[in-house]
Amino acid sequence: MKEQGNLFYAQSGGVTPVINATAAGVIDKAAENKAAIPKVFMGHNGILGLIHENLINGFSLTSSQRKQLLQSPGGAFGSCRFKLPDDIKHPIYKRCIEVFKAHNIRYFLYNGGGDSQQTSLKIAQASQYYDHPTHCIGLPKTIDNDLPVTDTCPGFGSTAKYIAVSTQEIALDVVSMHQTSTKVFIFEVMGRHAGWLAAASALGKKNKQDAPHLILFPERTFKSEDFLHQTASTVRRYGYCIIVTSEGIRDAQGNFISDANQTDAFGHTQLGGVAAYLSNLVVSELKLKTHFAIADYLQRSARHIASKVDLDQAYAVGAKGVELALNRQSGVMVTIKRLSNANYRWTLTQTPLSRVAAKERKLPSKFISANGYGITNSARTYLHPLIQGEAYPQYRHGLPQYLAFQPEFVPKKLPDWNDPDV
């Protein structure tokens, strides 16, 4: 017989176009198991919701709100960037367990990237330490696709699709104007340490002359001279050059280019990110007209162009987490396992949290082309299935009907938590 207890779920770290689909998967699956899980608590602002006992009644969402969750970007219950202390004896862990006890929480599902899986691991350890057995399950999420073990991370496929489509669209703009206008276009995408998103920009590239012509990966050292040489020769060959850069490229000394307060030809110091830096470099050294776009949060909230595969996986991962918890698993993260590339068949399984917590998966060398500025066929084979299918939100009067709801908070049972650090 399944153990009875309530479930806590929360969203952590940078949000994605589909993290709410995972929340919907959790609520729906829990609702199918109300005998075992009488209540579902959604933490407000991630782990902070647990610490401050700010719990939203997950079963209070109407079925239409649950459907809207599936089509709304952002983190509907609030997310956070918050690192728990290393020491398991820190009072904050005792507090977490007190909240578990006060609300009879026996299932803890935490939805995030590598750092957030570290949080799941810590909570699992704390629940053992304080002898309040809790089934702690990590749910993967990150647009950066940098969690190890899992085939991909929900959120990545949709952001990758946004970037692949946007790169093609920008290229069609630039090619039509290049004779008398912009010759070099720079598109800055996320990826502080791993180039998965930048790699996805090439998914629409069929021939050598197609965009993007140069991709700058964090996995490769940025060398100004070679970059300028490649840019100039691309412009000579095709008349224009489309460049996609990861925000996290670094120079030979390991310094982020985005942090470079370099002066340009006019003695001006430059701030404003990698794209502005590269643009100024091309203008001053090659005397070519440039433009640049910085996608920033646009890319990780672009639910309007989500990948159907990604959305399906995000939902399935949430439901699977509840299943694993009910089956008395703990200390594991749900992972996606690829069964075949053709028609992309996949299934869900799990891995110990210790294998993913605070870990980072970079783009493997076999995915980066020999010159360092493009992707290989292996990369395409891996990436292409993840952007398949369109999953448009419903529109009303020309705009997507994204979820806007007043959360129903659960009455508090404990005194306020007054640690000044939290």
Exactly one of 62, 63, 253, 269 binds a second copy (CB under 8 A); that residue is: 269
**From the CB of 212, what's the least distance to a second copy, in Å?**
13
144 is catalytic: yes
- Which residues make Cβ contacts (< 8 Å) with residue 391, sequence separation at least 6? 71, 306, 307, 308, 311
- Which residues make Cβ contacts (< 8 Å) with residue 311, sequence separation at least 6? 18, 21, 70, 158, 391
x-or-dash string of contact with a second copy, 162-201, rule CB under 8 A: --xxx-xxxxxxxxxx-xxxx--x-x--------------
Helical (H) or strand (E) element with 108: strand 105-112
Residue 384, interface with a second copy (CB under 8 A)? yes
Helical (H) or strand (E) element with 92: helix 91-102
Q: Which is nearer to a second copy, 65 or 128 (by Cβ)?
A: 65
Other CB atoms within 10 Å distance of the CB of residue 113: 26
Residue 264, interface with a second copy (CB under 8 A)? yes
Residue 399, interface with a second copy (CB under 8 A)? yes
Residues 111-170 that bind a second copy (CB under 8 A): 161, 164-166, 168-170
Residues 207-236 that bind a second copy (CB under 8 A): none
Q: Which two tokens stand for residue 209?
A: 């002359």
**From the CB of 125, what's the least distance to a second copy, in Å?**
23
Other CB atoms within 10 Å distance of the CB of residue 296: 13
Cα→Cα distances 2→88, 317, 324, 326, Å: 29, 20, 12, 6
Q: Give how far the C-alpha of residue 346 lies from the chain's centroid of Cα atoms, to the nearest Å.
A: 19
Exactly one of 85, 91, 272, 352 binds a second copy (CB under 8 A); that residue is: 272
The whole-angstrom separation of Cα 131 and Cα 111 is 24
Q: Which is nearer to a second copy, 5 or 74 (by Cβ)?
A: 74
**From the CB of 347, what's the least distance to a second copy, in Å?**
21
Phi then psi for residue 373, to 5 deg, are -115, 15
Residue 304, interface with a second copy (CB under 8 A)? yes
Exactly one of 129, 366, 395, 408 binds a second copy (CB under 8 A); that residue is: 395
Exactly one of 154, 204, 218, 321 binds a second copy (CB under 8 A); that residue is: 204
Residues 56-75 that bind a second copy (CB under 8 A): 72-75
Give, to the nearest 10 degrees, the angle between helix 19-31 and helix 63-70: 150
Q: Which is nearer to a second copy, 338 or 362 (by Cβ)?
A: 338
Residues annotated as catalytic (active site), given as ranges:
144
